[in-house]
């Protein structure tokens, strides 16, 4: 069996930053440290942080007054931040800087009087946080078929932002439909789909042309991991999304001579190693990494010494 590893794969800079923030909070403050929603969408990452003293909650009201509380990498609405202030929580914002950039564009468009569209998956935490950056109504668009029925105040003043973890291919089709309906639509200078999502999808697209089957390591609720599986399937290559090697079905490999492996942006590399080890237990394998984009992006992680900016009651 030949095993080909996608490059790049796994953790992105925003995920690294968010996880590091929780680790530093656990080191600096007496556990438990509370995290609103999943810090990132990966069951193994969450379990490791729980073991160290992180408590994941879905509602701010579950958190004791004065407790250290981390907002997840997906970002939160202004209403959530305000409610945290009113509850007296000491908050740390682990929102990915690329998501924060989308928030700033959202606010800028709204302040300039545009009808703002959010392209993304309804109900996803990132989309809810983005919509909640402004006080007025915001339309979430998930499919090109929804565009013809959009109601806007002025077709000449429409703008959009995009969830950072969407499929590049699917989004391009949706944008073509938006441009047809609103020829003067305000677009970002560069796509809001983040570099990590774009790079990982491009790598899987190339990988799908080289192998018989692809395994994507990532959790079922991870948007970017699901998009990687879809990218492979669009190339007519069978692909499966697995949390870890324990979810592999040996029946998938009937007649398969080459396997590609990638991992979503919130999946740690040791899970990829576990998949390779599983394959080795089935028989001889050769492992190679494909050529791909080198990623050197990193984001600053706050020190959390004392009570710094960004960690204050009501901040």
CATH architecture of 98-181: 3-Layer(aba) Sandwich (3.40)
Alpha carbon distance 100, 98 (integer Å): 5
Alpha carbon distance 79, 219 (integer Å): 28
Which helix (H) or strand (E) segment holds residue 127: the answer is helix 125-131
- Average pLDDT of the chain is 94
Residue closest to 285 by CA, chosen among 256, 263, 264: 256
Alpha carbon distance 165, 157 (integer Å): 26
Confidence of residue 315 (pLDDT cuts 50, 70, 90): very low
In sequence order, what are the residues at sequence separation of 6 or more whose Cβ sits closer than 8 angstroms to the Cβ of residue 119?
A: 140, 141, 142, 160, 161, 162, 163, 166, 171, 174, 175
Work out the average pLDDT over 73-87.
97
126 has catalytic annotation: yes
Question: Do 210 and 4 contact (CB within 8 A), yes or no?
Answer: yes
pLDDT score for 307: 55
Domain chopping of the chain, boundaries: 2-10+195-289, 13-96+299-313, 98-181
Backbone dihedral region for residue 160 (phi beyond 0: left; psi -120 to 50: alpha; all else: beta): beta
3-class SS of residue 173? helix
User: What is 2-10+195-289's CATH number?
Assistant: 3.40.1010.20
CATH topology identical between 2-10+195-289 and 98-181? yes
Q: Is the per-residue pLDDT at 313 higher than 60?
A: no
- The model's pLDDT over 9-62, given as tens digits with 9 standing for 90+, comes to 999 999 999 999 999 999 999 999 999 999 999 999 999 999 999 999 999 999
- In SS3 terms, 234-292 reads as HCCCCEEEECCHHHCCHHHHCCCCEEEEEECCCCCHHHHHHHHHHHHHHCCCEEEECCC
Confidence of residue 305 (pLDDT cuts 50, 70, 90): low
Which helix (H) or strand (E) segment holds residue 16: the answer is helix 13-28
Which phi and psi angles does 150 have, rounded to 5°? -65, 135
- The model's pLDDT over 246-264, given as tens digits with 9 standing for 90+, comes to 999 999 999 999 999 999 9
Apex 21 CA angle, 17 and 26, nearest 5: 150
pLDDT score for 312: 44
pLDDT score for 306: 56
Alpha carbon distance 299, 92 (integer Å): 15
Alpha carbon distance 68, 241 (integer Å): 34
For the domain made up of 13-96+299-313, the CATH class stated in words is: alpha beta
Which phi and psi angles does 64 have, rounded to 5°? -65, 145
Work out the average pLDDT over 257-286.
97
Of the residues 48, 62, 126, 187, only one is catalytic, namely: 126
- The model's pLDDT over 128-158, given as tens digits with 9 standing for 90+, comes to 999 999 998 899 999 999 999 999 999 999 9
pLDDT score for 269: 98
- The model's pLDDT over 146-202, given as tens digits with 9 standing for 90+, comes to 999 999 999 999 999 999 999 898 899 999 999 999 999 999 988 999 999 999 999
Which helix (H) or strand (E) segment holds residue 55: the answer is strand 54-57
Work out the average pLDDT over 113-131.
96
pLDDT score for 309: 44
């Amino acid at each position: 069996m030949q095993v080909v590893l996608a490059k790049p794969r796994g953790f992105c800079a925003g995920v690294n930053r968010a996880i590091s923030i929780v680790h530093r909070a656990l080191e600096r403050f007496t556990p438990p440290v509370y995290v609103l929603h999943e810090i990132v969408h990966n069951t193994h990452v969450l379990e490791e942080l729980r073991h160290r003293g992180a408590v994941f909650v879905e509602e701010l009201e579950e958190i004791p007054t004065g407790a250290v509380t981390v907002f997840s990498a997906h970002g939160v609405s202004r209403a959530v931040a305000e409610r945290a202030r009113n509850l007296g929580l000491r908050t740390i914002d682990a929102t990915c800087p690329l998501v924060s950039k989308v928030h700033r564009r959202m606010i800028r468009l709204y302040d300039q009087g545009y009808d703002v569209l959010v392209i993304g998956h309804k109900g996803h935490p990132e989309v809810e946080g983005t919509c909640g950056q402004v006080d007025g109504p915001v339309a979430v668009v998930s499919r090109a078929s929804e565009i013809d029925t959009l109601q806007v105040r002025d077709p000449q003043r429409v703008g959009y932002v995009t969830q950072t973890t969407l499929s590049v291919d699917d989004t391009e089709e949706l944008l073509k439909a938006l441009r047809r309906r609103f020829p003067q639509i305000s677009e970002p200078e560069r796509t809001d789909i983040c570099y990590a999502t774009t790079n990982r999808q491009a790598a899987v697209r190339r990988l799908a042309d080289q192998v018989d089957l692809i395994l994507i390591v990532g959790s079922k609720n991870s948007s970017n991991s699901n998009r990687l599986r879809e990218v492979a399937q669009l190339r007519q290559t069978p692909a499966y999304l697995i949390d870890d090697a324990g979810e592999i079905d040996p029946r998938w490999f009937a007649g398969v001579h080459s396997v590609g492996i990638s991992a979503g942006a919130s999946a740690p590399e040791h899970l990829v190693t576990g998949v390779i080890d599983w394959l080795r237990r089935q028989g001889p394998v050769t492992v190679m990494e494909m050529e791909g984009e080198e990623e050197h992006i990193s984001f600053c992680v706050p020190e959390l010494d004392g009570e710094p900016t960004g960690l204050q009651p009501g901040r």
